[in-house]
Structure 1
């Protein structure tokens, strides 16, 4: 395949996120990359796609910055771009949470390689915790993982009480690429949990390096692919069609933009409901045209590719 998809993050202080954003965006434009990149005082988080050679050069340039020398890219092959636009934005955090005070580059849970995670996950003194949103773990998750009924990662602190019964166990957290686990595991340590670990590189790296064994279903990703296969050892389907309840891991966004729910919808129901999650949404006057994919890229929302989305400016900027 000619294209690559890069998933990455790094918690490292950036003194002037706006200036960094401008310079970083010019690099992406020069390399014809598409995707979403977030720049904040606390670091860098992104998913981009591009031709293999352009992605290789991008990785070289990012890691040449001493702040990001230890950054690890998760690399996947693709037949085409996984995005339709390029957005490089300045935001308060690189992953939206209610944990602004947490600094993972100073203290976080112990990193486990995919092989180390695999060796530990089935032990009696271990509990696996999924820190992702409900629509993500509903389509794919590790066997026996504890899920926390989270609609958005900012809800995580409110769910920690549910983990108190496991305080005497080793807590193994995981997410898609690792960025949420850095804050989640750091917060658990702050709350008095002593044995806190995280799957370094997340589900994506586990699939690449450990074959994805015992990850049931597919991994939800935030690009045009929507979900990707992870498990090459003992794959299974765990999601059910939102409408007819038949096994299906075909994820869509509801065609009604006022609903926009992330749900599994089988091919047949997708056609019958014209991309909506229910007959009521199908009849909504604002329903978007359904092209069979169930993905609806957002409009640019006044985003200027040369200046970025500057509605947020860090204090003092």
Structure 2
């Protein structure tokens, strides 16, 4: 058993004083030595954190002790060390940026548990639709899934026409941990799609509980691992090195801070090209030192682990 855990979770529930809750929650994470990224909004909570097993257990118990989050679903993975370098607990308007005119507490797609999804995904009347960004599904996606060339969920209205001809099908949306699908499936319902489902807990939960069958490639994650294996049944590699074209599932952030693109890059090209995706990026005078991982922690201004963004007015939602 590995000594650390990674927790991936979200929950839509009204938070009356989100600013006060953010401060309280930040203190809880500090007390438990957790690192990661957490978003607090009037509509709920969304986070990924890492910590020692006992600290993560204490965190999950503390969150579930709050009646508002009693039904929260934690996806738990074992790791050798922290997968984050800092702790960020931010206050925002939404727990996932979408700008979609929907409320998943009022209407959303039918939740499919991983076992139900596995049993249903190969039905000829079913279409799998990936609700993640293009750089995420480039490195991994479900076999036969529809993907959109979008940077974020706010662009979904621009792409929904691409599946308009599938309104008579059973649509199953999926994403990394399930949070995007809460709003994406609700939006599809609002656009006239009638048989809309979503993979509850996302790709990560499916991999943990059902072995990840038919997920090709790796799953992009938002910590310093960048991409992880989820398929223990019929794994394959679908992405190719951005530089040389050889098959690789190894993801990096370009070492040029002006670029920071997420691209597959094989180990050899990472070393040869200093972790950059183009020669122009390699010539960037602000080039970051490539350490072989391709992960670079942001350097936020005015933020400290102990205080957070105290310079913000407590009543102001962070943008």
The TM-score range, normalised by the shorter chain, is over 0.9
Q: Which runs of 5 or more structure 1 residues have no equivalent in the other structure? A: none
TM-score for the superposition, normalised by structure 1: 0.97
Task: Work out whether 1:25 is the aligned partner of 2:6.
Answer: no
What are the superposed Cα offsets for residues 238-289 of structure 1, whole Å, 9 maximum, x if unpaired? 0000011100011001111111110000011111111110111111111111
The DSSP-based 3-state class of the residue aligned with 2:19 is: helix
| Partner Cα separation in structure 2 for residue 162 and residue 11 of structure 1 | 28
Count of equivalent residues:
316
Detail structure 1 runs of 4+ shifted over 2 Å in the superposition.
Answer: 304-317
Q: What's the offset of the Cα at 1:307?
A: 3.8
| Partner Cα separation in structure 2 for residue 316 and residue 142 of structure 1 | 36
Task: Work out whether 1:121 is the aligned partner of 2:150.
Answer: no
What are the superposed Cα offsets for residues 163-212 of structure 1, whole Å, 9 maximum, x if unpaired? 10100000000000000000000111111110000000000000011110
Equivalent residues in 2 for 1:162-201 (5 A)?
A: 162-201=162-201
Label 1:30 to 1:140 Cα distance change in 2 as closer, same or farther (>3 A): same
Q: What's the offset of the Cα at 1:308?
A: 2.6
What are the superposed Cα offsets for residues 99-133 of structure 1, whole Å, 9 maximum, x if unpaired? 1x321112110000111111111111110000000
Determine if contact 1:111/1:197 at 8 Å carries over to the other structure: yes
The DSSP-based 3-state class of the residue aligned with 1:129 is: strand
Equivalent residues in 2 for 1:29-44 (5 A)?
A: 29-44=30-45
Determine if contact 1:38/1:89 at 8 Å carries over to the other structure: yes
- What residue in structure 2 maps to residue 7 of structure 1? 8
Label 1:302 to 1:278 Cα distance change in 2 as closer, same or farther (>3 A): same
The DSSP-based 3-state class of the residue aligned with 2:181 is: helix
| Partner Cα separation in structure 1 for residue 71 and residue 159 of structure 2 | 31
| Partner Cα separation in structure 2 for residue 59 and residue 188 of structure 1 | 32
Determine if contact 2:93/2:317 at 8 Å carries over to the other structure: no
| Partner Cα separation in structure 2 for residue 278 and residue 234 of structure 1 | 33
Q: Which runs of 5 or more structure 2 residues have no equivalent in the other structure? A: none
- What residue in structure 2 maps to residue 131 of structure 1? 131
| Partner Cα separation in structure 2 for residue 236 and residue 314 of structure 1 | 48
- What residue in structure 2 maps to residue 81 of structure 1? 82
| Partner Cα separation in structure 1 for residue 164 and residue 131 of structure 2 | 15
